[in-house]
Structure 1
Amino acid sequence: MTETTTNRPPPRPGDDPPISRQQRWRYGAALALIVLISELAPMEITLVYPAIPHMTQDFRTLHLGWVLTMVSLVAVVSLPLVGKLADTYGKKRVMLSLAVLFSVGSLICATADSFPMLLAGRALQGTAGGMVAVSYALVRDTFPRRWVPVALGTVAAGIGVSALASPFVAGWFIDNHGWQSLFWFMLGYAVLLIPVVAVLVPESSLRLHQRLDLLGVALLGSGVGLILVGVSQGPKWGWVSSGTLGTLIGGAGLLIAFVVWELRVTAPAIDLRLLASGALRSTLVAYLFIGFMIAGYGLLMPQMLQTPAQVGITYGVGLTATALALWTFPTGLLTMVCGPLGGAVARRRGARLTLIGAVCAMITGLVAAAALAEHRWQIMVISAVFGIGMGLYYASGPNLVMDAVPAEQSAVGAAMLGVVGQLGNAVAVTVLSVVMAQNIASQNPKTGRITYTDTAFQQSFILAAVVGLAGLAVAIKMRHGRAPATGGAATR
């Protein structure tokens, strides 16, 4: 049985009361803090991307992709639970709890002396993958209706700040203090923010009282995990071996069981009945494909640009981690700029148009990257184009979801968006790591550093772009999002 309680009646479109200057400052401060704490989710990825080549010296394994996959996998598993907890116990309360778990995970990663210990820390950090979804829902619940579309775009712009600053922060720490210092930085960032957010950010009064579907969460996590293991180990075990087929079939079976269970239980982890709405369904499908593109770009670009020039490859630029930040900063800058811009476009022309623009820009960037940029101006142009796509992408999704789900299920809806995005990320890292591993040019016996062939990057970038074309087709066809975004007022 579902029960919704609130301390105030839900507002209707256009009935926002007048806002005083003091209230504007309070809303502005709260939004800034929501943006800052939401940075934990992209930070756990964007700070670590440049560190992957450097971790090889301490953990000599071909499976370093799991440093990224583990975060996405845990996010996929935890997001439904996070969304339900946020709708049940309060968005701010859950947000702070995620920040605490992130802090513990950062401490473990900073002190890890083995690869399994590092993955354990990354698993705890991965719970912060639900931070952005909870932030979107908190904005919807606590901000004036007419502010919500642009406020959601501003939260997205915060991700742009992370994309802009993370390469510089990562480059400086890696070049001067080693990759472990990145996790000490993340720990300090979270610890400083937690008490400030606790005091200054308002809590949502909306509550959705349901039991937690732990079995559904377990089925989803186990199914996705087995499939990712099967894909990543397929080249080593053999694609028709009993181990590979067993994990793939077992994972598929668990996902089927998950769907059957979710449709029968009264309080599902992911309310699949929401997918009866074509509006939400088309948005999630598009975001699954786009998540693959984003992860592909983030995984491939740092590795390609940090590889030194050498015989047998044409792409070697040999950038240090700091130089990488300097030449790819347009990605973060334009993500930050285009987030609020995308929110404004969504409010005037509809979020579907914003999404189409995002996908087109990202596909263009991936195709250009497949040409294996040899000049630094080319790197900056590619980074700029992809950054435009990222900003529009982060602004379109939350507006599409908030206008597609009931107010009392806003966190669940945002969590579903996060699940498919993280699932796309996890599949991309796993699949592209397999493609790269099949095209190794050489490996330094002293440092363990791997050099990939031109073909490895060309095939991977093109594969990511092709997946993006599927997302573009969905975005063009979708009927949802053609009207101006309302910030969720239309579904109240």
Structure 2
Amino acid sequence: MSEPTAPTTAPGAEAADADSRSHTSASRANLELLFVGLGALVVSLSQSVLVPVLAELQSEYGESANWLLTSTLLVAAVTVPIMGRLGDMFGKRRMLLVAIGALTVGSLITALSDSITWLIVGRAIQGASSAAIPLGISLLATLLPRERVGSAVALISAMLGVGGALGLPLAGLVAQNADWHTLFWINAAIGAAAFVGILAIVPESKSRTGGRVDFIGAVLLSGALVCLILPLEQGHDWGWSSGRVWLLFAAAAVLFVVLALAELRRDDPLVDLRALKRRPIVMTNLASICFGFALFASFIGTATFVEAGTWTGYGFGSSLFVGGLTMLPSGVAMLLLSPVAARIIALRGAPQTLALGAAIVAVSWILRITLTGSLWEVILGATVSGIGVGIGYAAMPALINAHTPPHEIAAANGLNTLFRSLGSTLATAIGTSILASSLVYRVVDGQVVDATSSLSAYRWLFAVCAVASVLAALLVLTVPHRKDPTPTGEPELANT
């Protein structure tokens, strides 16, 4: 049955879009891409730099240090879809500046503080910056010349992986040679540079809907996401059979139902459930969960693998810096392949491109299962994964944009980023449980002096990631290829 056809543009959006593009020269477009890309890079960087130094922070602050990661994730989950919707309503550049400003302020608080309370506050504020990537994608899609939109969107989307791959060796280098506060001074400096550049160079998109903020929807969505993500993050420590874990899951389910009922009644909902029901959007978001799972599992399953002691029978006893460097080639591959991915999208369509990326990621996990004897083999597997993730991440926003009206594009990309984040959260929960399920012990003079995950545990994790990648490919292949999609998306809403 056909769905009602929604308007593809807000009133006056087509004229405004044409006007904004006509004033964008090639050199100006390069600067706009540079500063938006710099903002996306530092946001992604901030999400990964804490991982290598978390053990040091745990020894200093105890289990409270875990909230340095959890607080960021919770705030990101809540703010990304809300700020995406606000970007469509009141200006994508305006909300992008808010996101980059949050990163800079949060980084400064963290860099200046030794109190665990203020460190958590700073990291929580940084969580709001996660909206910068979908906002940047949506802003550039409306500003740049049409022939440059595809490669620009692919580049900004790839920054999700590039920043993570660069963050690990950077954090390892700092951890070995300087105080960990240096990491956040670096984030603050880059964030400030991106903020000033966007403020001075990047214009506001003329496509805005206005309207009233859906406060009820925001509260319900925030509560539902917190109740869902908190037990996923803390379930391993609390115990998966813990009553509060399942109580929070039940509360999340109830709040999502109430949210759906409330949003279907509104003319201007925070979450457009009717749009989310379109098959291309559903399949892309489900595939994004699988991709987010595979990417984050690559982070937690590569550096720790090579840093494990040689006594384990598989580890290489590498330093934090070397462990982080193993991810660097994958980040470079994501960066270099973003324009290639844009060309593949133009030739074969976003669904087939995303499926190709997922298939490459699946191959990388098979390599990781079978090739474990040498450090170069681990790097090879991680690099192949980076190639697949780079191609897949470029295709995701292309799919979202092709099936979303321009005046909803920031909200749609924000929700897609949320689904990727949910995949990363699942990777943390499932990956931690798998790696903890099988341990090997180092015994000296009858005393256990060290314990770490076994090779079989890592292989099980890699196998789960391979299955997730294949599932992503199968899901997205059900999406029909539009023969002539526009870069900013003028979707065919009927019969989808």
**TM-score where L is the length of structure 1:** 0.88
2:452 aligned counterpart, secondary structure: strand
- Indicate how the Cα distance of structure 1 residues 428 and 215 shifts in structure 2: closer, same or farther if over 3 A, else same: farther
Supply the distance in 1 between the matched residues of 2:455 and 2:110 (Cα, whole angstroms): 32
Q: CA deviation at 1:463?
A: 2.2
- Corresponding residue number in structure 1 for 2:40: 38
Out of 64-73 and 333-342, give the one that drifted further. Answer: 64-73
Supply the distance in 2 between the matched residues of 1:139 and 1:78 (Cα, whole angstroms): 20
- Corresponding residue number in structure 1 for 2:146: 145
- Deviations along 1:296-346, whole A, 9 cap, x unmatched? 112222222222222xx2232122232224333210111011111111111
Q: Which amino acid aligns with 2:15?
A: P
- Deviations along 1:266-301, whole A, 9 cap, x unmatched? 322211111232222221111122111112112222
Supply the distance in 1 between the matched residues of 2:384 and 2:347 (Cα, whole angstroms): 23
Supply the distance in 2 between the matched residues of 1:142 and 1:18 (Cα, whole angstroms): 9
Out of 130-139 and 105-114, give the one that drifted further. Answer: 105-114
- Deviations along 1:354-400, whole A, 9 cap, x unmatched? 10111112122223324472311102211220110121022101111
2:326 aligned counterpart, secondary structure: helix
2:271 aligned counterpart, secondary structure: coil
The alignment yields a C-alpha RMSD, in angstroms, of: 3.0
Q: CA deviation at 1:224?
A: 2.7
Task: Give the alignment partner of residue 9 of structure 1, picking from 15, 33, 52.
Answer: 15
Q: CA deviation at 1:45?
A: 2.2
Supply the distance in 2 between the matched residues of 1:385 and 1:214 (Cα, whole angstroms): 44
Supply the distance in 2 between the matched residues of 1:235 and 1:46 (Cα, whole angstroms): 20
Q: Which amino acid aligns with 2:386?
A: G
- Indicate how the Cα distance of structure 1 residues 230 and 159 shifts in structure 2: closer, same or farther if over 3 A, else same: closer
Q: Which amino acid aligns with 2:95?
A: V
Supply the distance in 2 between the matched residues of 1:174 and 1:11 (Cα, whole angstroms): 47
- Deviations along 1:137-189, whole A, 9 cap, x unmatched? 10111112222112212323545653554344223212111333211210111
- Corresponding residue number in structure 2 for 1:173: 174
Q: Which amino acid aligns with 2:180?
A: W
Q: CA deviation at 1:353?
A: 1.6
Supply the distance in 2 between the matched residues of 1:116 and 1:374 (Cα, whole angstroms): 43
- Corresponding residue number in structure 1 for 2:60: 58
Supply the distance in 1 between the matched residues of 2:290 and 2:158 (Cα, whole angstroms): 21
Contact map agreement 1:4 1:208 (CA 8 A) in 2: yes
Q: Which amino acid aligns with 1:329?
A: L
- Indicate how the Cα distance of structure 1 residues 249 and 380 shifts in structure 2: closer, same or farther if over 3 A, else same: same
Q: Which amino acid aligns with 2:346?
A: R
Supply the distance in 1 between the matched residues of 2:431 and 2:165 (Cα, whole angstroms): 24
Query: Residues 258-337 of structure 1 correspond to what in structure 2 (within 5 A)?
Result: 258-310=259-311, 313-337=312-336
Contact map agreement 2:304 2:323 (CA 8 A) in 1: no
Supply the distance in 1 between the matched residues of 2:393 and 2:119 (Cα, whole angstroms): 29
Query: Residues 205-224 of structure 1 correspond to what in structure 2 (within 5 A)?
Result: 205-224=206-225
Contact map agreement 2:441 2:452 (CA 8 A) in 1: yes
Q: CA deviation at 1:112?
A: 4.6
2:486 aligned with 1:486? yes
- Corresponding residue number in structure 1 for 2:123: 122
- Indicate how the Cα distance of structure 1 residues 72 and 238 shifts in structure 2: closer, same or farther if over 3 A, else same: closer
Supply the distance in 1 between the matched residues of 2:486 and 2:442 (Cα, whole angstroms): 54
- Indicate how the Cα distance of structure 1 residues 245 and 322 shifts in structure 2: closer, same or farther if over 3 A, else same: closer
- Corresponding residue number in structure 1 for 2:377: 378
Contact map agreement 1:92 1:138 (CA 8 A) in 2: yes
Gapped regions of structure 2 (runs ≥ 5): 1-6, 444-448
Supply the distance in 2 between the matched residues of 1:216 and 1:331 (Cα, whole angstroms): 39
Out of 241-250 and 288-297, give the one that drifted further. Answer: 241-250
- Indicate how the Cα distance of structure 1 residues 10 and 399 shifts in structure 2: closer, same or farther if over 3 A, else same: farther
2:25 aligned counterpart, secondary structure: helix
Contact map agreement 1:404 1:488 (CA 8 A) in 2: no
Q: Which amino acid aligns with 2:487?
A: G
1:292 aligned counterpart, secondary structure: helix
1:392 aligned counterpart, secondary structure: helix
- Deviations along 1:59-87, whole A, 9 cap, x unmatched? 443x8665444433322211121111111
- Corresponding residue number in structure 2 for 1:362: 361
Amino-acid identity (%)? 24
- Indicate how the Cα distance of structure 1 residues 6 and 322 shifts in structure 2: closer, same or farther if over 3 A, else same: farther
- Corresponding residue number in structure 2 for 1:201: 202
2:31 aligned with 1:26? no
Q: Which amino acid aligns with 1:230?
A: P
- Indicate how the Cα distance of structure 1 residues 193 and 460 shifts in structure 2: closer, same or farther if over 3 A, else same: same
- Corresponding residue number in structure 2 for 1:408: 407
- Deviations along 1:427-472, whole A, 9 cap, x unmatched? 221232233344454699xxx9863333432332222322233222
Supply the distance in 1 between the matched residues of 2:87 and 2:427 (Cα, whole angstroms): 28
